[in-house]
A and B are shown apart, each in its own frame.
Chain A
Amino acid sequence: MVRVFRNRPYLLYLTRKAVWYLVAFVAAVALNFFLPRLIPGNPVSVIVGQMAAGGVDSATLERLYNAFIRDFGLDQPLHVQFWIYLTGVLQGDLGTSFMLYPSKVWDVIRQALPWTIALQVPAILVGWIVGNVLGALAAYKGGGFDRVAFTGSLVLSSIPYFCLAIIFVYLFAVRWPLFPAAGGYSFGYFPEWSWSFFVDALYHYVMPFLSLVLVAIGGQAIGMREMAIYELNTDYVNYAKKLGISDRRVVRYVFRNAVLPQITGLAISFGTLIGGALVTEAVFSYPGLGSLLFSAIRQVDYPMIQGITLIITLTVLLANFLVDIAYGFIDPRIRAGQVGER
């Protein structure tokens, strides 16, 4: 085992990370299974009871009840239930939806997931890049520019995503109807690979995208500014300056060093920002997971909620793992085998 990794620090780093993510994955699946079972009594009868109060007819209830007891394997002991759940998940079977009966949860999620990814991944990446450049500039220039950029970033980053989203819808869709107020595409269109659909979808994309990007820029800029100010005060920078090395080059060194922790910050963003971003989708009635979650919670669609939380976790874990792989390439200390864990 040890011999395989000798002189291959990157492989060691990668394996360690992979093991960690595997543990996190198992923990997430276990949480996803056990937390819902904290509901006192039989979760299916609780849910079906709530649906009965909602005015669903008794024949449908009976059918649902039996289907869910079978699906969850609720007549079995707990460890058997967990096994049923686990094998189901691994085969891509997340159960049957309540609100869209008899659609399978995974089929519904599969329709929504591309919208969420197409909205959030570019928003986080663009926010990260612009925020870092802005933060580094603020630290380097100092003075009035810094004060304006820092205060602006503080204001932006402290507005909750969905608050900015609500204000955007009101100002730019209702008050001055420049952009559509809701949805991912116009009524009458159907998702397909055509130019006119693409343009229409892009038009609906602008506002949700901007509301996410602006807040992300603020948060990243603050972090980068701190790191860059710290780097600017270090000995190597003073030494480089005394040597008469051009400002341009010094800035490049500083940026490279300060951006490393920010890459870790990128991984964190995926996990922490997803919550606010989901609500942003609900505000825009964007056809992604957030809007789906919003209706699933309202209609107590338990399998759907559980399916969405699982898919979100998996997506975030995957995104984090990709960032970690990239980090291993970028940080020379890992290539040199000087640090294994950060």
Chain B
Amino acid sequence: MELIRILLRSSRFVTGFGIIASVLAFALLGPTLLTDVGPFQRVGGLFDPPSSDALLGTDNFGRDVFTQLMYGTRTSLFIGLVAGFVATAIGVAIGTLAGYFSGVIEEALMGLTNVLITIPPIVVLILLSVAVDTRTATTMGVIIGVTAWPWTARAVRAQTSSLRTREHVDIARISGVGSLEMMLVEILPYMFSYIFMAFILQLTGGILAEATLSMLGLGPFQTVSLGTMLHWSLLWESVRVGAWWAFVPATIFLSISSFSLILMNAGMDEIFNPTLRHTR
């Protein structure tokens, strides 16, 4: 509760949260409240301009763009969330283990992390996506998360190794607390705000990674996402024929989702990192 009150003091956090909450509400409630056609239902011809029947016109298959936008946003946020959870979970686990145990375990885990960091994530993403022959939204989220964790691991390790030298950890060690309990009780809770910020960044990265992969043609099968909407509109040359309604909505939704999340992150950074505040 206390934490929420502190967060509400940052206008950046509140603005970012407000925007992403509205986007989420649109994606979750839109299909029942705002439309009565399905995402794959044909309601018109090729690139029909916006009208009272189809608020944002139709896409290359004659489907309603407004409806596609709701389902697409839903899929994109879902993939981002799965990717964010997977990446944060792996990153925190590896980072905490590496930071808590010095020596061989740390060397091995950080060696792995550093090698994976040097390989561009998009390369592994492409290779994995091509290898998986049935890509659902969930598998895409997992694939993205599995390639994105090294950054979180590195940051969490740094935090853990500084927390390890704190007095309360020493006291717990003297009292004979085991390693697992130590990490879960004496270390992790102290990094909570930090982990939450890392999660927000991973979520943003996951949404953008989905869009990148889908635009390259490696998107989820039989599902609409913001990325697949852009993929089809690119393939059917909607930009060059001037059918703005086919690509502008998805472009804007991707941009504001990532903007609002980054804004939330900047707000939290200001609160949790007092050194970043301007003193002058």
Contact = CB atoms under 8 A, between A and B. Distances in A.
Given A154-B266, A166-B247, A230 B276 contact: yes
Contacts of A174: 239-240, 242
A226 B130 contact: no
Interface string B194-207: 00000000001000
Interface string A135-173: 000000010001000000011011110110011011001
Contacts of B128: 35, 38
A27 B119 contact: yes
Interface string B237-280: 00110101001100100110011011100100100000110111
B215 A162 contact: yes
A102 interface: no
Interface string A249-289: 00000000000000000000011101110110011000000
Given A142-B280, A274-B120, A170 B262 contact: no
Contact of A279 (B116, B123, B132, B216): B216
Nearest to B212: A275
A288 B232 CA distance: 21
B122 A278 contact: yes
B118 A24 contact: yes
Of A23, A159, A320, most buried by chain B (CB within 10 Å of CB) is: A159
Contacts of B230: 162, 166
A267 B211 CA distance: 24
Contacts of A31: 119, 123-124, 127
Contacts of A270: 120
Interface stretch (A69-77, A125-133, A185-193, A309-317): A309-317
B240 A229 contact: no
A315 B244 CA distance: 36
A28 interface: yes
Given A154-B263, A158-B258, A233 B275 contact: yes
A246 B115 CA distance: 44
B127 A159 contact: no
A7 to B, nearest CB: 26
Interface residues of B, number: 52
Contacts of A48: none
Contacts of B248: 167, 170
A221 interface: no
Contacts of B133: 39-40, 46
Interface string B122-162: 11111110111100000000000000000000000000000
Nearest to B262: A158
B25 interface: no
Interface string B88-123: 000000000000000000000001001111111111
Contacts of A36: 127, 130-131
A230 B131 CA distance: 45
A289 to B, nearest CB: 11
A319 to B, nearest CB: 10
B219 to A, nearest CB: 10
Contacts of B117: 271
B251 A28 contact: no
B112 to A, nearest CB: 9
A5 interface: no
Contact of B122 (A20, A226, A274): A274
Interface in A177-195: 181-182
B99 to A, nearest CB: 15
Interface string A223-239: 00010011011000000
B152 to A, nearest CB: 14
A163 B254 contact: yes
Contacts of B276: 226, 229-230
Q: Which of B111, B120, B126 has the most CB of A within 10 A?
A: B120
Contacts of B244: 170
7 contacts: A24-B118, A31-B124, A160-B254, A162-B211, A271-B118, A278-B122, A283-B234
Interface of A: 20-21, 23-24, 27-28, 31-32, 35-40, 46, 142, 146, 154-155, 157-160, 162-163, 166-167, 169-170, 173-175, 181-182, 222, 226, 229-230, 232-233, 270-272, 274-276, 278-279, 282-283, 293-294, 297-298, 302, 305-306, 309, 312-313, 316-317, 320
Nearest first, the 8 closest Cβ-Cβ pairs linking A and B are: A275-B122, A158-B259, A35-B127, A38-B131, A24-B118, A271-B120, A297-B217, A158-B258
